[in-house]
Amino acid sequence: REEKEALRPIRKMADRLLDTSGYTVHQLRDYIREQYDVRAEGTPMVISVTSFGYKYGVPSEADLVFDARFLPNPNFVPALKPLTGSHAPVIRYMKRQRETARFLKKLDDFLTYVVPQYVREGKSYLTLGIGCTGGRHRSVMIANAIADRLSEKGYTVKVRHRDVNQA
């Protein structure tokens, strides 16, 4: 009741009223596109890649989450511990691990398949979460590598390292 009262002045100005209570989000999207000629092709999907530490929680905004905790941990190499997955020595260490190359290949294959499906469905954004224990080494390196591969394929990509500066 309060909401209706608060919106009354806006309702009086409206040219068209639409009861969306029976619409799914997909039906509403399609309705808006049809009525107002809003074309999804004009706006590329934005892919956000977020690295994080599981000990700080999984990002609630992540659509897809990938776990990198099975990879060898640079945190246990004294010279690498104070660095992050964006530093060259950590990247070199990670690239020397056979599991890293296999993981990146499998992620790339999966994303090569699934991202166009999301685009076709009309999603305007997709958020990938890449996690490791603390969010400083493995997840950062993998997130950067995946973001680079997606950018090379022409996608608009944003990278965020949520927990890289945690203690």
Give residue-wise pLDDT tens across range 43-100.
Answer: 688 999 999 999 999 999 999 999 999 999 999 999 999 999 999 999 999 999 999 9
For the chain, the three-class secondary structure string (H helix, E strand, C coil) is: CHHHHHHHHHHHHCCCCCCCCCCCHHHHHHHHHHHHCCCHHHCCCEEEEEEEEHHHCCCCCCCEEEECCCCCCHHHCCCCCCCCCCCHHHHHHHHHCHHHHHHHHHHHHHHHHHHHHHHHHCCCEEEEEEEECCCCCHHHHHHHHHHHHHHHCCCEEEEEECCCCCC
Give residue-wise pLDDT tens across range 3-51.
Answer: 889 988 988 888 778 888 888 877 787 777 666 655 545 568 899 999 9
